[in-house]
Copies of this chain bind each other. A is one copy, B any other.
């Protein structure tokens, strides 16, 4: 059991109608002028954005708008947001959307509050760390990234084909409004991607090295079992409140550190996926994760066999074969793979149209041109990473 720090100061308001409280909440956290940050058309079309504006106006809050955040949020828009926030002297950033909008908001808040750092990309490249930030709030419309409670912020810079994340205590948002009804309109494909992403935040922690973390492991299994069920229900029955609700709450808990406390957490599949969707920004993060996980798992499972057996038994309810633990472990991986297929998720990166000649590029980018390895029960170097990309690619033959 490793020492850990757990800090989740985000106030979550969960349930129907909670978004009506947004103006009061911003006031409570000292906001007077808000940068209202969002994505494309859906928040406009649904009328949510208008309702939010009415709430802000009812509290006498001023605001400026910046829409247009795309999946894999891009540096250019972040820079535009930073400039706007400084020019307009906003003192609060409100994200209306999912993980991309939230991460873009975090980056803007950090950029605006640390003017001595000229290039906000320096935070992503870990050349600088924010020492202050603007207070932030979220109205969540997509259950997936868990950014609403995490300390993570992932931005893509298409000029250099890089997608990079950084962690900071300052990246925790002040409040998150989570109304499951606001996710009813999320299409099945995006719902499935969200279910993959949510589960993966916990799966990666669960398969990280550690020992004696009984409570953390049991909590992780609880989150994984729940998202498997809720994700599937929401995929086939989009207006199922219970399914959307359990999925939304799982998204927050899967990535707020609760499911990794006391373990040495690394996220190798995330790192490998970042190269995929960094290079091909049209790839949805969750789909990329699904396409990689089973190959990663089959490559490494012998290095932590008992964990993979435990996963099979406790998460998938596999009948344990005590004489042949590797069979039990592989059956757990197979069940996970079947689940992805049931939700029309890819299980090979070739499904994205990746060419064989791109595999080496991906592996090189992932190990920062041979300057890093990916830690875990099995430390992955360039050759390992290339093999895993190839395993996934060949599955699509």
A2-B15, A262-B14 are known contacts. Are A230 and B214 too (CB-CB below 8 A)?
yes
Q: Is the CB of A222 within 8 A of B215?
A: yes
A residues near B (Cβ < 8 Å) are: 1-9, 11-18, 211-216, 218-219, 221-223, 225-226, 229-230, 241-242, 245-246, 249-250, 253, 258, 261-262
- As for how many copies of this chain the complex holds, the number is 2
Choose among B4, B216, B218 the residue that contacts A225 (Cβ–Cβ < 8 A): B218
Choose among B5, B16, B17, B222 the residue that contacts A14 (Cβ–Cβ < 8 A): B5
Q: Is the CB of B218 within 8 A of A1?
A: no
Choose among B214, B215, B226 the residue that contacts A218 (Cβ–Cβ < 8 A): B226
- A215 and B202 alpha carbons, distance in the complex (Å): 14
- A132 and B327 alpha carbons, distance in the complex (Å): 59
- A13 and B2 alpha carbons, distance in the complex (Å): 11
For A222, the chain B residues whose CB sits under 8 A away are: 215, 218-219, 221-222
For A18, the chain B residues whose CB sits under 8 A away are: 3
Q: Is the CB of A6 within 8 A of B1?
A: no
For A16, the chain B residues whose CB sits under 8 A away are: 3
Closest to A249 in B: B215
Q: Is the CB of B2 within 8 A of A6?
A: no
For A242, the chain B residues whose CB sits under 8 A away are: 1, 211-212, 214
A12-B6, A14-B6 are known contacts. Are A249 and B223 too (CB-CB below 8 A)?
no
Q: Is the CB of A5 within 8 A of B12?
A: yes
- A226 and B219 alpha carbons, distance in the complex (Å): 10
Choose among B6, B226, B249 the residue that contacts A261 (Cβ–Cβ < 8 A): B249
- A247 and B219 alpha carbons, distance in the complex (Å): 14
For A3, the chain B residues whose CB sits under 8 A away are: 13-18
- A221 and B246 alpha carbons, distance in the complex (Å): 16
For A12, the chain B residues whose CB sits under 8 A away are: 4-7
Q: A2-B15, A212-B245, A219-B219 are in contact. List 13 more A-B contacts (CB 8 A).
A: A1-B241, A1-B245, A4-B15, A8-B8, A9-B11, A14-B261, A14-B262, A211-B242, A212-B241, A214-B242, A216-B249, A218-B222, A219-B222
For A15, the chain B residues whose CB sits under 8 A away are: 1-4
Q: Is the CB of A246 within 8 A of B9?
A: no
Q: Is the CB of A226 within 8 A of B214?
A: yes
Shortest C-beta distance, A231 to chain B (Å), equals: 12
Q: Give 5 CB contacts A-B under 8 Å.
A: A1-B241, A3-B18, A5-B13, A212-B241, A215-B226
Choose among B216, B221, B246, B253 the residue that contacts A214 (Cβ–Cβ < 8 A): B246
- A225 and B8 alpha carbons, distance in the complex (Å): 24
- A222 and B220 alpha carbons, distance in the complex (Å): 9
For A11, the chain B residues whose CB sits under 8 A away are: 5-7, 9
Shortest C-beta distance, A10 to chain B (Å), equals: 8
- A118 and B266 alpha carbons, distance in the complex (Å): 53
Closest to A230 in B: B214
Closest to A247 in B: B215
- A214 and B258 alpha carbons, distance in the complex (Å): 17
